[in-house]
């Protein structure tokens, strides 16, 4: 068991390419480390990473959490306690085994209730599972919430993704500030994605943050998304694949 695994979180504003990059990162890790244990966590309730990695999701973390809640609410304390002690096995039931990697989705609470409960649960799940995997890649929900709620506490490598917009860059700077306080990250860096031709040669003000990669518009990725294909169907020459590789190399992960 490896207690010092690498936990990579992919964060940023909505629609900047977090899911596409998370999938590309998982692909790079599989190619570089076929013998290592790699886990992809879809921490976005919209479950986009599953599609990007070609995974069918049957059971989510929220499904498991709800079964605890139901047992506790029905007053069956004994059952609730037994279930808690079995949590580790139950979580493993929700982990889908694929070729070269494993996958887990957070899911979406059915009721309109507070999403923070499943986030609190996710934090524990990350903590438990990171002991069993060498590499964990977390595709985060858009925005700052999961960093704020300490879901990302155990993250070792923080990837801040933005497009070329001031808004997107503002969001990653905020995430970075909060992450300094609320996470244990060792390395952080920026990936600028979906840049226009002009954006590729523009210097962006990123304060003290390290720029890991600049990725231009990727037509291959757009076609791939349109067809609902997974990241494994992209050519090695796709911008997003090259960008993910560059970023991981700069972070000394691959
Ligand atoms: N470099 C790129 N070039 C062209 N299109 C891209 C690029 N990166 C991402 N996209 C496209 O942009 C859309 C959003 O990408 P993606 O789903 O990866 O973003 P996200 O940050 O995960 O979004 P959300 O916040 O909704 O989860 C997708 O259709 C994707 O194909
Ligand atoms: Mg996404």
Q: What is the pLDDT of residues 48-88, one digit of tens each?
A: 999 999 999 999 888 887 877 776 677 766 666 666 667 76
Q: Is 135 a residue whose pLDDT tops 50? A: yes
C-alpha 79 – ligand 2 centre gap (Å): 36
Please give the structure tokens belonging to residue 154: 């155990």
- Given a cut of 90, whether residue 214 has pLDDT beyond it is yes
The CB of 239 under 6 Å from ligand 1? The reply is yes
Nearest atom in ligand 1 to the alpha carbon of residue 225 is 31
- The terminus-to-terminus CA distance of the chain in angstroms comes to 20
**pTM > 0.75: yes or no:** yes
Instruction: Report helix, strand or coil for 82.
Output: helix
Q: Is 164 in the pocket of ligand 1 (CB under 6 A)?
A: no
Residue nearest to atom 19 of ligand 1 (CA): 17
Range 185-218 burial, b when 16+ CB lie within 10 A, else e: bebbbbbbbbbeeebeeeeeebeebeebbbbbeb
What interhelical angle do 61-73 and 116-129 show, nearest 10? 110
Cβ-contact 61, 104 below 8 angstroms:
yes
Q: Which atom of ligand 1 is nearest to the CA of 142?
A: 25
């Amino acid at each position: 068991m490896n207690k010092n695994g690498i936990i990579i979180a992919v964060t940023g504003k909505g629609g900047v390419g977090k899911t596409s990059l998370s999938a590309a990162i998982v692909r790079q890790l599989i190619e570089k480390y076929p013998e290592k244990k790699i886990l992809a966590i879809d921490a976005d309730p919209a479950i986009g990473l599953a599609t990007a990695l070609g995974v069918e999701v049957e059971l989510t973390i929220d499904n498991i959490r709800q079964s605890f809640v139901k047992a506790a609410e029905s007053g069956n304390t004994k059952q609730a306690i037994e279930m808690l002690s079995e949590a580790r096995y139950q979580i493993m039931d929700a982990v889908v085994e694929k070729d070269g990697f494993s996958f887990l989705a957070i899911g979406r609470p059915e009721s309109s209730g507070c999403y923070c409960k499943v986030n609190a649960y996710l934090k524990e799940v990350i903590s438990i599972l990171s002991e069993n995997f060498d590499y964990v890649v977390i595709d985060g929900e858009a925005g700052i919430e999961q960093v704020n709620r300490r879901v990302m506490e155990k993250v070792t490598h923080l990837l801040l993704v933005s497009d070329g917009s001031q808004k997107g860059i503002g969001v990653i700077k905020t995430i970075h500030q909060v992450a300094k306080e609320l996470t244990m990250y060792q390395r952080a860096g920026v990936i600028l994605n979906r840049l226009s031709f002009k954006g590729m040669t523009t210097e962006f003000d990123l304060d003290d943050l390290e720029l890991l990669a600049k990725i231009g518009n990727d037509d291959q990725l757009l076609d791939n998304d349109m067809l609902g294909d997974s990241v494994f169907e992209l050519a090695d020459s796709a911008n997003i694949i090259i960008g993910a590789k560059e970023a991981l190399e700069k972070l000394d992960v691959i």
